[in-house]
Amino acid sequence: MSTGLEIDPRLDLFEEIARLKKEKNAVILAHYYQDADIQDIADFIGDSLQLSQEAAKTNASIILFAGVHFMAETAKIISPTKKVILPDMAAGCSLADSCPPEAFKAFKDKHPDHVVVSYINCSAAIKALTDIVCTSSNAEKIIESIPKDKKIIFAPDRNLGAYLKKKTGRDMVLWDGACMVHEIFSLEKLLRLKERHLAAEVLAHPECEAAILDHADFIGSTTAILNYALQSEKKQFIVVTESGILHQMRKAAPDKEFIPAPPNANCACNDCPHMKLNTLEKIYLCLRDESPEIILDEALRVAASASIERMLAISK
């Protein structure tokens, strides 16, 4: 595998990436949690649903996914004939890791008459054990598409699951997983911040704990949070999600103030360490070498694709 040491320091990485993209008919899909520079070179920036819809319809030969492993894997599941590359294979996800397939299979077997809905932040093996995938932007719609008399398992995020139970009134069995970034926000610090910014609206991602969500003026996916802030008449916002989203917010509304919510410790833990493994250097090498590539066992891919296709059909 390539290392950053091979890069000629005189290269203009922005130019080189643009050249390689054209030469190789490649597209760069980036999640909002990527660094500002990466968002700026991307062809498409979006939340998990938009990224999977984009992966399904692109005409590019190569998809470079500036995000984490489950996102690139989802792109490969949907677009098997395309080469899908991920700048750093170690870019995982604590939420996806909190749901190992063997343990989930045993959990599912204990609830045989349940429809399984899984948040897209899970592995292909979990998607293969799932009836319908969802993202934070369509989760409510997906739950509501299931007949009222059907019992539901929701995996792997207990916070999003608890939020959906409250919103939809459905009594779902929840897998006990969580995201390390969204669980780290401090309620005490958020309340102090709110006191200092009385006019600010609190915008939160549903992966946060209920105690945080109880103090939010708006709860939604990264795209929904961004759109809400842009159309709101308010000028100040406390943003309770990964810090990468602030780049697009500040770019689109330079007259508004976006304040990142404080984490528990004095650290940068509202930066996702997995998302932040991607760098411009790694993106350049990944495009140049067309590696690391997502390779999936075909039987697993086919098994996982049905649950994503159902989600895409419901979300049209």
Residues forming contacts to ligand SF4 in the complex (CB under 6 A) are: 33, 68, 93-95, 121, 179-181, 242, 272, 274-275
Find which of ligand 13P, ligand SF4, none residue 307 binds, CB within 5 to 8 Å per kind. Answer: none
Nearer to ligand SF4, 56 or 180 (CB): 180
- Nearest Cα neighbor of 221 from 232, 206, 208, 237 is 206
Contact partner, 48, from ligand SF4, ligand 13P, none, Cβ < 5-8 Å per class? ligand 13P
Contacted entry of ligand SF4, ligand 13P, none for residue 131, CB cut-off 5 to 8 Å set by kind: none
Site residues for ligand 13P, window 203-232 (CB under 6 A)? 205, 207, 221-222
Q: Residue 208, Cα to own-chain centre: how many angstroms?
A: 14
Distance CA 105, CA 266 (A): 38
First CA to last CA distance, the chain: 39
221 binds, among ligand SF4, ligand 13P, none (CB under 5 to 8 A by kind): ligand 13P
Burial readout 262-276 (b: 16 or more C-beta within 10 A, e: otherwise): bbeeeeebbbbebbb
Q: Which is nearer to ligand SF4, 133 or 272 (CB)?
A: 272
Report the residue from 94, 135, 270, 305 that binds ligand 13P according to the rule CB under 6 A.
Answer: 135
Q: What sign for the dihedral angle of Cα 91, 74, 57, 222? A: negative
Minimum CB separation of residue 8 from ligand SF4 in Å reads 32
How far is it, in rounded angstroms, from Cα 162 to Cα 148? Answer: 18
Please report whether residue 73 would count as binding ligand 13P according to CB under 6 A.
Answer: no
Residue type, 215: H
Q: Does 130 bind ligand 13P (CB under 6 A)?
A: no
Contacts (CB under 6 A) with ligand 13P, residues 13-32 = 32
Contact call for residue 136 and ligand 13P (CB under 6 A): yes
Footprint of ligand 13P (CB under 6 A)? 32, 47-48, 121, 135-137, 179, 205, 207, 221-222
